[in-house]
């Protein structure tokens, strides 16, 4: 998803909309995490991001359970998308500076719901908490928090010819 598309989504959210599955069809095709991880975006607002995944053998480590790196990547993806939408309409973007994910119980297959909510949305940084819960019994399998830096591209210095 390019910066213009992200900014357009951000404007809709800042106008008070909550985007649901139908609104997110094209977003889901492009947003990081959708392809390899299989993240399906269900709802986006300025107050939370909701998605789900259906882990299977592709996501397993050698002992037949979901690899912890998968949970970390899902946590990072939800927090990053949610945080980016907070600042996109201003032409800014976010970069993760810390991801701390706890693995609470083993999981093999079956739908897991993920919900990201802001702990702090500040001028320079944001902190988001993400909880991943098994749909079958409502038990959390992992939870994490991601701190992100709000970046103004105009403030970035780079040598000539370098991105």
Q: Is 104 left (phi over 0), alpha (psi -120 to 50) or beta?
A: alpha
Question: For 112-123, b where at least 16 C-beta lie within 10 A, e where not — what string?
Answer: bbbbbebeebee
Q: List, in sequence order, every residue forming a beta bridge with 95; answer none if it has no partner.
A: 149
Residue 11 annotated in active site: no
Predicted pLDDT at 71: 97
User: What is the DSSP-derived secondary structure letter of residue 4?
Assistant: H
pTM value is: 0.85
Domains of the chain by start residue, with CATH? 3-153 (3.10.129.10)
For residues 102 and 142, the answer to whether their CB atoms sit within 8 Å is yes
**Lookup: tokens for 86:** 């907070």
Task: Read off the pLDDT of each residue in 80-99 and give the average, rounded to a whole number.
Answer: 94
What band does 14 get if pLDDT is binned at 50, 70 and 90?
confident
Predicted confidence (pLDDT) at residue 27 exceeds the cutoff of 90: no
Predicted pLDDT at 120: 98
Instruction: Give the whole-number percent of the chain exceeding pLDDT 70.
Output: 85
Among 40, 45, 46, which Cα is nearest to 21's? 40
Phi and psi at 148, nearest 5°, equal -130, 145
Catalytic residue among 17, 43, 57, 76: 76
């Amino acid at each position: 998803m390019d910066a213009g598309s992200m900014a357009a989504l951000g404007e809709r959210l800042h106008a008070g909309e909550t985007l649901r599955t139908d609104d997110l069809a094209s977003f889901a095709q492009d947003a990081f995490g959708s392809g390899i991880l299989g993240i399906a975006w269900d709802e986006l607002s300025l107050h939370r991001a909701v998605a789900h995944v259906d882990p299977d053998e592709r996501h397993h480590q050698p002992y037949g359970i979901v690899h912890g790196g998968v949970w970390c990547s899902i946590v990072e993806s939800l927090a990053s998308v949610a945080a980016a939408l907070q600042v996109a309409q201003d032409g800014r973007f976010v970069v993760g500076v810390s991801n701390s994910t706890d693995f609470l119980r083993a999981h093999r297959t079956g739908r897991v719901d993920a919900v990201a909510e802001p702990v702090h949305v500040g001028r320079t940084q944001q902190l988001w908490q993400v909880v991943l819960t098994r749909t079958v019994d409502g038990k959390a399998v992992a939870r994490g928090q991601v701190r992100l830096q709000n970046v103004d591209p105009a403030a970035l210095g780079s040598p000539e010819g370098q991105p």
